[in-house]
């Protein structure tokens, strides 16, 4: 007869998608990711790190340094996203920050790119933006209008309804450029009706699955 302790079912295997050292701090990830992106002369616009039904997902939105939709500096392409994804994955492996499976996705932010830094408001002066606050200011949480600039404390916007406002960064929950294409009228043609145009553009996206075994998949 075996001792009773030997007859118990073995514990289930650890879920490879479950962190064994606890959640990884966003700031620690940024310290590794930003230099890897900068090596490609690109800027990390936004980083998302969260658990979804498919498991842990890290999404990076990147663009060329100094990108401006009014200039000839374009967004990143598929091949460049793939190279950045490869180097970021390697840098994270070397840093040993993440001890579980995760999906790494790298893409351009698209036309309605997020505004996440004070310098973004200075770079995009004259363009339109939509800003959502975490707390209401003057009984409003959402502001929409022309970007006037920004200092180290707040962004300035000429709102369509209330005029010029100063929005503290620590109260901004989400901010992004607003893409509003102007209708094109051709000679002899009627003006385009609302809804006749094509949908707003989206950034190129490359998804790689890092299973901590070095395998990658692009789509």
Cα(109)–Cα(122) distance, integer angstroms? 18
The torsion of the CA quartet 195, 177, 173, 154, rounded to 10 degrees, works out to: -140
Poorest-confidence range of 34-43, 49-58, 69-78?
69-78
Q: Which two tokens stand for residue 107?
A: 């893409």
Helix, strand, or coil (residue 51): strand
Model confidence pLDDT, tens digit, residues 122-177 = 999 999 999 999 999 989 999 999 999 999 999 999 999 999 999 999 999 999 99
Model confidence pLDDT, tens digit, residues 3-28 = 444 445 544 444 555 555 556 788 99
| Domains of the chain, first to last | 26-110+202-210 (3.30.300), 111-200 (2.30.30.180)
**Cβ-contact 139, 162 below 8 angstroms:** no
Cα(8)–Cα(24) distance, integer angstroms? 34
215 pLDDT more than 50: no
Report which secondary-structure segment, H or E, holds 145: strand 140-150
**pTM for this prediction:** 0.69
């Amino acid at each position: 007869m075996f001792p009773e302790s030997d007859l118990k079912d073995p514990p289930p295997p650890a879920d490879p998608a479950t962190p064994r050292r606890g959640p990884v701090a966003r700031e620690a990830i940024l310290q590794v990711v930003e230099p890897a992106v900068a090596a490609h002369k690109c800027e990390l616009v936004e980083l998302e790190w969260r658990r979804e039904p498919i498991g842990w997902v890290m999404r990076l939105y990147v663009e060329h340094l100094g990108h401006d939709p009014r200039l000839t500096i374009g967004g990143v392409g598929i091949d460049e996203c793939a190279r950045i994804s490869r180097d970021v994955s390697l840098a994270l492996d070397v840093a040993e920050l993440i001890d579980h499976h995760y999906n790494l996705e790298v893409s351009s932010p698209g036309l309605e790119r997020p505004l996440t830094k004070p310098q973004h408001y200075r770079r995009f002066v004259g363009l339109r933006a939509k800003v959502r606050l975490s707390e209401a200011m003057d009984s409003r949480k959402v502001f929409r209008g022309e970007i006037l600039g920004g200092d180290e404390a707040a962004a300035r916007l000429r709102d369509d309804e209330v005029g010029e406002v100063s929005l503290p960064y620590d109260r901004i929950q989400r901010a992004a450029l607003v893409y509003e294409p102007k209708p094109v009228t051709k000679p002899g043609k009627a003006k385009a009706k609302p809804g006749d145009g094509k949908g707003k553009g989206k950034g190129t996206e490359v998804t790689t699955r890092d299973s901590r075994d070095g395998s990658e998949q692009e789509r």
